[in-house]
Every structure is written in C-alpha cells, then in structure tokens.
Amino acid sequence: MSESDLVLTEIRDDGVAVVRFNRPEALNALNMATRKAMADAFTALHDNRDVRCIVLTGDDKAFAAGADLKEFVDEGPVEIIQRRSERYWHAVATTPQPVIAAVRGYAMGGGLEVAMACDLIVVGETAQLGQPEIRVGIMPGAGGTQRLTRAVGKFMSMKLNLTGKPISGTEAHALGLASDCVPDDEVLDFALKQAASIARMPALAAQAIKEAVVHGESASLETALLLERKAFQVLFSTEDKKEGMTAFIEKRKPTFQGR
Ligand code: CO8
C-alpha cells in the first residue's frame, strides 16, 4: 500500500470530513508513516471552513491497535526522542473543529490515545479499549496516563495502565471514556449523524466551546471560568449570534454562516 493511502480523507457535502485509518493488515497500527499521514490530514482540514466537524475512524476490526511494535522493537531513546511524534497527536488535538472518534474493534495504546485527543468518542459495544503498553515493557507516551486519568479518574486509570487489560465499549461508556455506545454496526452511522448535527451549529460557537472545555480542563477553576466568560462575550460580536436569537424570536429556523 502506498503511504498516501494509509489515511483516507473524504469531505462530505454536509460539512463533515471523515478521516479513516487504512492499514487493515496491521489492525491500523500507527507506524510513523500513518501518524504523519494522520497529522497531514488534520492539518489540511484546520483551514477548511467548509468542514465544521470531523469523524476519525478505522474499520470494523480496529480503530488502531497502537504504535507499531515492529518499528519500536529495535529503537532506543535517542531515536524515540528524535521522532518527535508528539506533533502528530498535537495535530489532532489542536484541530479547531470538533472531532468525533468512531471506535469499532481495537483502540489500544496509541490508538486509544488518539481517540482521547478527540472531543467525542462513539464506541461500539464490543470494542476493546486499553493501554497495554506495560505488557511490552513500556508505558503510554501520548496521553494514556494523563488524558485517561482526567476522563475516568485515578483508580480506573491505574487499573487500565497497570494491568494492560482492555475493557469493552460498554464498560468504557459506563466509565465516562466514551460519549455514546451503540451496537457495533451502527457506530459509523451514529457518528456521522452526530457530526452532521454539530456541523449545522454556528461554527464559531462550536469552536469556542471546544476551546473552553479543552483548555479549561487543565487550568484552575477561576482561570477556566474567566476563559469561558471571555469566549462567551466574544460570541456576542458574531453574525450567527444575531441570526440565532432573531430566528428564535421570529419563530423560524436560523441560517448560520459561520461568521
Ligand atoms: N504493532 C504492529 N503490528 C501489529 C500491532 C501493533 N501494535 N497490533 C497488531 N499488529 C499486527 C500483527 O502483528 C498481525 O500482523 P501479522 O499477521 O503480519 O503478524 C496483525 O496486526 C493482526 O494482529 P493479531 O494477529 O495479533 O490479531 P489478534 O486479533 O490475534 O489480536 C490484538 C489483536 C489483541 C490487538 C493484538 O494484535 C495486540 O495485542 N496488538 C498489540 C497491541 C499493543 O500492544 N498496542 C500498544 C503498542 S505500544 C503504544 O501504542 C505506545 C504508544 C505511545 C505513542 C507515544 C509517541 C510519542
């Protein structure tokens, strides 16, 4: 498979882009070429104003089975540092548009870390989510001890990280590690409908909400409330705010322009 096919992007006419890992022979394991292709796909979408929500997905067997262990096995710390592969996760996490991870099958290690860099996670009931790095002598390196702890709390994070044992989509949802859990064969359809519904929202409000939630999470409550308040105030300058409120008062459907 050529490197340009490792991640496929489809831009739909409902304002949704679908980014799909396409390395099925390795359960979408994230080798360097796949990580770079993922980051390139997201960077290209950052500036596309027609895209107002993104769905990141894999196939029915795997969202992504983690970093590519065949690439890792002979690497030392210098090679790992020089890869600077945190920039590839960063490209997903800093996407202005809301991103939905649609998870079927395995989301392990770096695969779960990519999903947690997204804003919503839709899981299939029998999906398998875990941080199995300890079983191969390492630990998570892209959010598995940090984003996971923020999502599920210290004790479940410790359990997942220290045992390496995966949990099902149903369990992940019960723990707050997923926003929705649906039958496996409905995951993509559900995520696409949710994305289309977000894409119909005023884009600047959606992006401001995302920024406030993501950045507020690691700030003090006082600072986070200030961040929220400032973003709230700025939205009063948008045309979509005028349109949304006027449409409500005139009892008609709003037409948002993303301005
Ligand atoms: N790396 C490379 N190849 C893989 C990986 C992987 N992570 N996972 C699966 N594959 C390959 C297998 O080698 C196999 O290929 P082949 O047939 O050529 O040998 C093919 O995919 C199918 O896999 P299995 O036969 O193993 O399929 P099973 O259904 O029996 O098992 C599992 C599925 C349980 C998912 C199993 O494949 C597995 O345990 N995979 C490894 C999961 C894992 O340990 N992931 C964590 C990796 S470490 C990591 O992610 C750290 C991220 C840190 C990033 C930080 C950067 C800054």
Domains and CATH numbers, the chain: 3-199 (3.90.226.10), 203-249 (1.10.12.10)
* C-alpha separations of 182 from 104, 128, 130, 178 in Å: 10, 14, 18, 11
The overall pTM is greater than 0.75: yes
The one catalytic residue among 105, 109, 110, 130: 110
CA angle 208, 213, 217 (to 5 degrees): 145
Ligand 1: distance of its center to the CA of 5 in Å? 20
Answer yes or no: are the C-beta atoms of 123 and 96 closer than 8 Å: no
Question: Dihedral, CA atoms, 61, 62, 65, 69, nearest 10 degrees?
Answer: 60
Give yes or no for residue 239 CB within 6 A of ligand 1: no
Looking at ligand 1, which residue's alpha carbon is closest to its atom 36?
A: 65
Distance CA 58, CA 114 (A): 12
Classified as helix, coil or strand, 66 is: coil
Answer yes or no: are the C-beta atoms of 28 and 5 closer than 8 Å: no
pLDDT in tens, 30-77: 999 999 999 999 999 999 999 999 999 999 999 999 999 999 999 999
Distance CA 141, CA 58 (A): 21
Number of residues assigned to the chain: 259
Share of the chain above pLDDT 90, in %: 98
Classified as helix, coil or strand, 236 is: coil
pLDDT in tens, 245-259: 999 999 999 999 999
pLDDT in tens, 125-155: 999 999 999 999 999 999 999 999 999 999 9
Amino acid making up residue 136: V
